[in-house]
Structure 1
Amino acid sequence: MKETIIKMLQQIEEDHNVKVLYACESGSRAWGFPSKDSDYDVRFIYIHKKEHYLSIDPIGVGNKRDVIELPVNHLLDVSGWELTKALKLFRKSNPPLLEWLCSSIVYYQAYSTIEKMEELKSTIFAPSSCLNHYLNMASKNFRDYRHRKEVKIKKYFYVLRPVLAARWIQQFNEFPPLEFQTLLEVVPSGKLKEEITILLKRKMLGDELNLEPQVDIINEFLDQEISRLQTYAKTIKMKIPDSTMQLNRLFQNTLDEVW
């Protein structure tokens, strides 16, 4: 599959006259709990030629789009962000982008841009915005099934993963790892962890779409944790240094390096 993805990235470069800087997996495969029929969620960062940026219309305005998306099929979901879009989101400690950079499944990486972003990652990390992102995701997904009598196994992980990510941020004051098995380290040994581990094994074996009675101990944990972490998030007061000048230089240096 990696060869197929690389060929697709090469075709994107040719069709759009860009250079791909980085491509990774961002879905359930990167999270460590793919099922038998999981597709590949490929995300990438790319840069245009210099002259594309030297115009009165900035990237992202009018027909100068700042994303490239391929039609989704049963096997591949491929989309990418233009570098200035990615760097502006990076400046705001955007969790989806930070997850791309943390992915353990990297399909392609060229030039020094990503390494330099990695060096800056700890200085731009904003605990409050990341916490709120994961808590909003968890709350929304929890509401979707909380009061149903039966639920599909996979629904639990759409709530557990962001809750454990938020808990990781609280405990370690750093951006959380993607792999669910690593995130589970913030759950003490006991019945709760045993139930989550059982569900994880069943999901990866293909039981994720079966409707079945809800697991009370997991729901109680999620109820309490979402509420507790929402209260904690309101107490965080941290001023993040403005990294605009550094990111401008990074963008300019990338242009010189690539083209």
Structure 2
Amino acid sequence: MLEHILKVLKQIEKEYDVKILYACESGSRAWGFPSIDSDYDVRFIYVHKKEWYLSIDQKRDVLEVPKHDKLSIQVDKLLDLNGWELAKALRLFRKSNPPLLEWLHSNIIYYQGSSAINKMKELESQIFSPTSGIYHYLKMAKGNYRDYLNREEVKIKRYFNIFRPLLAARWIEMHHAFPPIKFTQLVEDNLPTREIKLVLDDIIMLKKAGEVLDPNPRTELINHFVEAEIDHLEKYAREVSVNKSDPTELLNQLFRETLEEVWG
């Protein structure tokens, strides 16, 4: 699949007249628990030629292949690619956007062809906002938990969609830094009870096998833990505050340097 992914990335560059700076995995494969039929969720950052930016009109700043943007070659049905143009990515980076930071922290990197990504990583400590991160992951955990409660039959993926953001928010509270992508690392460093860890160990095994989990007596254990953590993290999020200096000029300089590096 790696060879196919690199071929598709090269074709995107050719057909859309861009340069891809970075491409990584962002889904369950990066989290460490893909199932048999898991998609490849490839996320990338790209840059246009200088002339593209010298326009009075705002232009589309995303590429979604093959969902909305087509290629002349066949794209594997398990492959989903979503890319953000560099200026858009840097604006989101300035806001400490968690999905973008997840891309930068991915442990599966398919391609990196510019110094821009390393420069962004060097700036992360100056830009990362614990408040933004906790609210993002809390909103995700709460929404997925409400959805989970309304189901008689629970897909394994729903458990991960609750626990992964919840444990990511706990990590931010503990370390004041962006959380790791690997789910097992979040589990090892965050879970306070052996009972919850055993539940998640079972769920990981079932997820990899592509199973569905019927409700069972452990559900109340999960409910109690999740509700208590949501309550605690909501209180913490209201209290935490970190002042950061405006990074705009640093990011403007990074953008200009990247255009020069890529296109000359």
- Shorter-chain TM-score: which interval? over 0.9
- 1:115-150 deviation digits (Å, cap 9, x = unpaired): 100100111000001100000000000000224443
Instruction: Confirm or deny that 1:41 pairs with 2:41.
Output: yes
Contact 1:153–1:211 at 8 Å: present in 2 too? no
TM-score of the superposition, structure 1-length normalised? 0.94
Q: Distance in 2 between matches of 1:210 and 1:228?
A: 28
Contact 2:26–2:106 at 8 Å: present in 1 too? yes
TM-score of the superposition, structure 2-length normalised? 0.93
Equivalent of residue 227 in structure 2, options 223, 226, 230: 223
Contact 1:24–1:107 at 8 Å: present in 2 too? yes
Q: Aligned letter for 2:39?
A: D
Instruction: Confirm or deny that 1:176 pairs with 2:179.
Output: yes
Distance 1:70 1:147, change over 3 A: closer
SS in structure 1 opposite 2:199?
Answer: helix
Q: Aligned letter for 2:156?
A: I
Instruction: Confirm or deny that 1:67 pairs with 2:71.
Output: no
Q: Distance in 2 between matches of 1:150 and 1:75?
A: 25
1:211 deviation in Å?
A: 3.8
- 1:58-116 deviation digits (Å, cap 9, x = unpaired): xxx2xx21001112474011110000000000000000000000000000000210010
1:30 deviation in Å?
A: 0.6
Alignment of 1:48-197 (within 5 A): 48-57=48-57, 61=58, 64-72=59-67, 74-184=77-187, 185-197=189-201
**Ranges in structure 1 where 5+ consecutive residues have no aligned partner:** none
Alignment length, in residue pairs?
253
Contact 1:69–1:79 at 8 Å: present in 2 too? yes
Q: Distance in 2 between matches of 1:53 and 1:12?
A: 19
- Structure 1 residue runs of 4+, over 4 Å off? none
- RMSD of Structure 2 on Structure 1 (CA): 1.3
Alignment of 1:232-247 (within 5 A): 232-247=236-251
Contact 1:196–1:218 at 8 Å: present in 2 too? no
How high is the sequence identity, in percent, across the aligned residues?
A: 56
SS in structure 2 opposite 1:215?
Answer: helix
Question: Relative to structure 2, which stretch is displaced further, 70-79 or 15-24?
Answer: 70-79
Q: Which residue of 2 aligns with 1:31?
A: 31
**Ranges in structure 2 where 5+ consecutive residues have no aligned partner:** 68-75
Q: Aligned letter for 2:34?
A: P
Contact 1:152–1:212 at 8 Å: present in 2 too? no
- 1:199-220 deviation digits (Å, cap 9, x = unpaired): 111111221x344436221121
Q: Which residue of 1 aligns with 2:70?
A: none
Contact 1:33–1:200 at 8 Å: present in 2 too? yes
Q: Distance in 2 between matches of 1:158 and 1:182?
A: 16
SS in structure 2 opposite 1:55?
Answer: coil
SS in structure 1 opposite 2:80?
Answer: strand
Equivalent of residue 254 in structure 2, options 244, 250, 253: 250
- 1:224-259 deviation digits (Å, cap 9, x = unpaired): 101110111000121221100000000000000000
